[in-house]
Amino acid sequence: RYLAMTDLVAYALASFAVAIPMALAGTGVWALAWSALAQHVVTMLLLGRREVPFRGLRFDFDRVSDLLAFGIPLTGAKIANFVALQADNVIVGKFLGVAALGAYSRAYAVNTLPASLLAQAVDRALFPVMSGAQADRGALERALLRGLVALLAIFPPLSAYCFVYAETIIDLLLGPQWGQAVLPFQILSLVMYFSVAYRLPDIALQAVGRTELLMRLQAVYALLVVAAALVGVHYGLAGVALGVG
């Protein structure tokens, strides 16, 4: 809970004290860079106030096999997720060129910034809860449902705001020269909720130790993203954004 609150406080301070004033001052993409740096600094300062007792170092050979059985599929899932998140960029760069890739990647980065920052807090808050409830299927399902409902209170209104004011947001954060990024940003903003919500079942699978199932699902997700991007690229940036979204 303390880690989740730390992430939320750091994100709020970085956004309202750094990102928004710098964007209004016309610094463009540097507002995002300095905001991310400020968030890490605030997180470090807040965590530094907590004293964690040192319990010593030891290596438990009996648990190595269990850790490998959990960790290897989890690593595979992370790799598949990385492919899914980067495949569209590779395809856009290869078929549409560097200029189109710049516009698409900036639109994607601005769109996913609030989702990715909040997702870190969600991960840290829900994983311990779901791990503690792994023996109680009903409690685990209730925790998952509460998380999905809580996200509904945040992201649909945020998505609507980003869709309506996409041109203003891109102009403030990136500058008027990035007008090509407006349409992909609008399309991606429509699925902002799902870009965070899908992480909750991932956390639940990790909490119950089903990392092998998580790896298979992430592999399917990566294949679908690649296929959708390859089809959508024939229709330009909007087609890729629509396919990937």
Of the chain, the percentage scoring pLDDT greater than 70 comes to 84
How many Å apart are CA 103 and CA 181, to the nearest integer? Answer: 5
Give residue 224's pLDDT: 93
Task: Supply φ then ψ for residue 37, to 5 degrees.
Answer: -65, -45
Q: Which of 6-10, 72-76, 127-131, 190-194 has the lowest average pLDDT?
A: 127-131
Q: CA distances (Å), 131 to each of 34, 156, 203, 205, 212, in order? A: 35, 28, 9, 10, 17
Mean pLDDT within 189-196: 83
Mean pLDDT within 64-79: 84
Q: Dump pLDDT digits (tens) for 168-187.
A: 988 888 888 888 889 999 99
Residue-averaged pLDDT of the chain? 82
Structure tokens at 25: 């001052």
Q: Nearest to residue 155, comparing CAs of 180, 192, 107?
A: 192
pTM over 0.75: no
Please check the confidence at residue 166 and state whether its pLDDT lies above 80.
Answer: yes
Query: How does residue 108 score in pLDDT terms, banded at 50, 70 and 90?
Result: confident
Q: Which of 80-89, 164-173, 199-208, 225-234 has the lowest average pLDDT?
A: 199-208
- Per-range mean pLDDT, top range of 67-76, 117-126, 157-166: 157-166
